[in-house]
Amino acid sequence: MNEAQLTTSTAQASKPEPDYRARLLCLVLLCLLTLAILSVLSMIAGAGNTTVKDAIGYLLGDASTRNDENLDMVLRTLRWPRTVGAIVVGGAMGVAGAVLQTVTRNPLADTGLLGINSGAAMGVVTGITYFGVSTTLGYLLWSMSGTLLGTSLVLLVASTGRAGVTPLRLILAGLGIGATFHGITAMILLSNQTSYDEYRYWVLGSLAGLHLKIVLQMLWIIVPGILLALVLMRSLSALILGDDVAQSLGHQPAKIRILSTLSVTLLTGASVALAGPITFLGLLSPHVARSFVHHRIGSLIGLSGLFGMIILLTADILCRIVVKPFETPVSVMIAMAGAPLLMWIVLSHRMLTLTHKEMR
């Protein structure tokens, strides 16, 4: 097959059929409706003493509840920011997971694979131990600093040599840098009990205590990451067919991987800074989306973001009511769903075959 035929076949394969478009539109509308319902549930459900009736009255504009300062504080100051935060973080992690699994051609890839989570953790521990950081804004800044350091080192190591940035080198570099950062973090924590006490609450992952202003400020990092992922859709569609095919279509695989890693770093770094390292979300969302759209990259990225929002918002609601009046870390709820999924992927002959084909 020559280059012209390959380009034509790729374009035809990427063109959605009318039935597919209709099904995709219905699925997107269903996701948006589910997201709206979950957002309302997030506002009326909680671990405190606020009743559902009072919360509904407040949302509907009941004058008697509007004058309740305690109710206003609970809904406006506590529940609304964490609802928005769950949507923002869930969408970012879902898109990041889809991009990472595509660029590495590994359906088992998670957003912690590139040393992002370990870099953020090391940054937070360094800030707590040596600079006395104890505020949410401080955690954000040090987490982002650690994230950028980790990703820069991963790209530097992966790009050395004649082969350049390949999926295998990217994964191995991420694992190596991540393990190094994890060791440094453990060494610091073992020598400082105070740092460990503060760090253990952050590392569990939680949306509690988010401020709406900070969430909106992080959009300046998350939105460029999403836009970059959308710009790379066509390149990723070619890259998933193999480096040789991508090069024959005029794409540069090494450049695509670097830009994709930058997108994943922006999305995951901001999310980890906001809510801590929430494991399995970047793995879970793309797999749910892939069950509907398979490897259509544009649809996969969009649906992964929507399912990330739904999964994280659902987990956040459950973590407030399962052990009421206390709260369970949201990462624990997602891990309870993500761990069985991971085992299913490993044991599934179909997914193992897919992994083998994509890694060739």
Residue with tokens 């959009």: 219
Predicted confidence at residue 66, as pLDDT, reads: 64
Backbone angles phi, psi at 188, to 5 degrees: -65, -45
Residues of the chain with pLDDT under 70: 1-18, 47-48, 62-67, 163-164, 341-342, 345-360
- Residue 355 confidence (pLDDT): 47
Q: What pLDDT was estimated at residue 84? A: 94
Classify residue 121 by burial, with Cβ atoms within 10 Å: 0-12, 13-18, 19+: buried
pLDDT tens profile 39-56: 999 988 876 677 777 778
d(C-alpha 174, C-alpha 177), whole Å: 5
Domain ranges of the chain: 19-73, 86-359
What amino acid occupies position 131? F
Which CATH topology does 86-359 take?
A: ABC transporter involved in vitamin B12 uptake, BtuC (1.10.3470)
Q: Where are the beta strands (DSSP E) in 287-359?
A: none
| Tokens 């299913």 -> residue | 344
What pLDDT is recorded for position 13?
45
Nearest-CA neighbor of 86 among 48, 35, 49?
A: 35
pLDDT score recorded for residue 90 = 94
Residues 165-190, buried b or exposed e (16+ Cβ, 10 A)?
bbbebbbebbbebbebbbeebeebbe
Q: Is 19 exposed, middle or buried (0-12, 13-18, 19+ CB in 10 A)?
A: exposed
Element (H, E) at 297: helix 297-321
pLDDT, residue 348, reads 62
Asked if residue 325 has a cis previous peptide bond (ω within 30° of 0), the answer is: yes
Under a CB-based contact definition with an 8 Å cutoff, are residues 331 and 204 in contact? yes
Specify whether the CB–CB gap between 165 and 257 falls below 8 A: yes
pLDDT at position 350 is 52
Cβ within 8 Å of residue 294, ≥6 positions away:
300
